[in-house]
Amino acid sequence: MEKKEVFVRKASGLVRNISAWDAMVLNIMVMAPTAIFVYGVWASALYPGADLPMTALLAVPLSIIVGLFYAVYSAAMPRSGGDYIWISRTLHPAIGFMCNFFLFMVLLSVAGSYVPWFTQWALAPILEALGYTELASFAASTEFTFIFAVIYYLICAAIISRGAKASTIALWIFFILVLVGFAVYVATLLSLGPENFAVNFSAQTGMNYQAVIETAKDAGYPGEFLIDATLLGLAFTYINFLGFNSTIYVAGEIKDVQKSQFIAIIGAVIIFGLISWLGYYATYAGMGGIFVGAISYLAETGHSAYTLPFAEPFFPFLFRYATNTTIYCFYLFTWSMMILAAILTYIMLTVRFVFAWSFDRVIPTALSKVDRRYNSPYMALIFVTIIAIILQAAWLWTPLLSYFAYIVFGWMILQIIASISAIVFPYRRKDIYEKAPAIVRKKIGPIPVLTLLAILSIIIAAWLGYASLSPTMVGAIDPIILAFTFGLYALGLVIYFISSMYHKKTGIPLELSFKEIPPE
């Protein structure tokens, strides 16, 4: 049977116009740099005594190991769809679709959760600081959040519709704004020092800086950095790094993809690690590390001594006591650009998921149509935008978002399955393996380097998956939420097998699409 009868067409219609540096910025913005200023509060409360800057440094080598695995594997099958392509060609197409469908739902859930970050944790505080109290209340409302979500998803669609290069240009603009604001944050805190911050904090809040530390100690906070708490907190910080390998999903649009993936993935890990370390270090240096841990502990445990006007002492909020209103609002604005950039990347990636599924005929082939002018999968984009808006409404007016509490555990299942596929790849798909670049076929003794990296990736994923379900991180395990997590995988299987049954009736079995790599 000819290839044109198996795949939608002889060429994908996508163009390799993403440079290595564009790809690196994409990976960085997927990880949402400076979102650590939110996660750091939670980590400090979950693991009292955790040294956050140290956890950032420790997370880098772990991420590099997993990053090398994904970069090498991507060189073997550099197509849009990433590990969906790999798993479906080595293990089984149903497993590949199942895993990618799970990630599809996860990324759109994170996008849905990030929209309130912008309206409630950035826009509303800026308006409040400028004296527009009523507007701030409106900006924080659920109704406005949904209106903004619809508008911004449409803006994302407009950008993505102009092709991958237009998307990366937008991400560069966001990235530069984030870095400018980050530089202001770091410089302000390093020049301030905890003594001056303590004076400002006590004068402006009615809370006493030193009393916060002593009260937290009395409530159970250790009042010092501990090695065991830092090692436990490492698992939480490593979660912030997830997404450093996202360029595998746009591999069909990256120039010189074999070289570029290493620059994009490893470079993103190093830069994100540096931002995380420096951000945490400056926060400790400017506000006092023990104070940061203490106030986080009081807030997250619901202690009555915590009386700040915001529910949680996220670092951007505490920054208001380190500077004047103008600089504070400017920083919140640049910090919010990180949120908007991350949402753009999630839409961009999920569009590639849908395109890859459609190109393999798992879902209607119309969704793989590509605009000839901009080489953009416009039908997949329309589909994802509609789904994102529908899910956003569900996130805001139903408890659906709470059922995504174990997404890290589910994500690690995906990583383990992808790693297993890499281990069997040289044996199950010799036809592809033997034609792969030399870096993919490189061995240490009789064992392929890809296999060794896959084994390490499995170990790291198993550790993180276990840690993500620890009582400290999620409390008592909720069997309903756990069932929902596995249910997303199961739903992917159901969709695939329905599609398979349909195609058997058409005379072109769906499984034929997975005998080879999709054309470029």
CB 280 within 8 A of CB 53: yes
Question: What value does the mean pLDDT of the chain take?
Answer: 93
Q: Is 155 exposed, middle or buried (0-12, 13-18, 19+ CB in 10 A)?
A: middle
Pairing between β-strand 447-448 and β-strand 443-444 as defined by DSSP bridges: antiparallel
Q: Is the pLDDT of residue 233 over 80?
A: yes
Rounded CA-CA distance 400/398 in Å is 5
Q: Which residue has the tokens 């907190």?
A: 233
Cα–Cα distance list, 336 to 143, 351, 392 (Å): 19, 23, 19
The residue-averaged pLDDT of 150-163 equals 97
Q: Work out the end-to-end distance of the chain between its first and last CA atoms, rounded to an integer number of angstroms.
A: 19
Rounded CA-CA distance 520/516 in Å is 12
Q: Is the pLDDT of residue 385 over 50?
A: yes
Cα–Cα distance list, 236 to 105, 288, 467 (Å): 21, 21, 8
Q: Take residue 71 and report the two structure tokens written for it.
A: 């970069």
Q: Is the pLDDT of residue 1 over 60?
A: no
- Band of pLDDT at residue 476, cut at 50, 70 and 90: confident
- Give the pLDDT of residue 267: 97
pTM across the whole model:
0.94
Rounded CA-CA distance 415/458 in Å is 7
CB 294 within 8 A of CB 84: no
Q: Is the pLDDT of residue 3 over 50?
A: no
Beta carbons within 8 Å of 86's beta carbon, 6+ residues apart:
73, 76, 77, 96, 418, 421, 422, 425
- Give the pLDDT of residue 411: 94
Tens-digit pLDDT profile for residues 400-458: 888 888 999 999 999 999 999 999 999 999 999 999 999 999 999 999 999 999 999 99
- Give the pLDDT of residue 121: 96
Q: Among 19, 20, 31, 26, which Cα is nearest to 276's?
A: 31
Q: Which helix (H) or strand (E) holds 444?
A: strand 443-444
The residue-averaged pLDDT of 340-363 equals 95
Q: pLDDT over 90 for what percent of the chain?
A: 84
In three-state secondary structure terms, 245 is: coil
Helices 479-506 + 93-118 axis angle, to 10: 130
- Give the pLDDT of residue 8: 62
Q: Is the pLDDT of residue 151 over 60?
A: yes
Q: Which domains does the chain have, with CATH numbers?
A: 3-507 (1.20.1740.10)
- Band of pLDDT at residue 14, cut at 50, 70 and 90: confident
- Give the pLDDT of residue 240: 92
In three-state secondary structure terms, 205 is: helix
- Give the pLDDT of residue 517: 82
Q: Is the pLDDT of residue 72 over 70?
A: yes
Cα–Cα distance list, 388 to 167, 355, 381 (Å): 18, 16, 10
- Band of pLDDT at residue 506, cut at 50, 70 and 90: confident
Q: Among 313, 289, 391, 357, which Cα is nearest to 42's?
A: 313
- Give the pLDDT of residue 4: 45
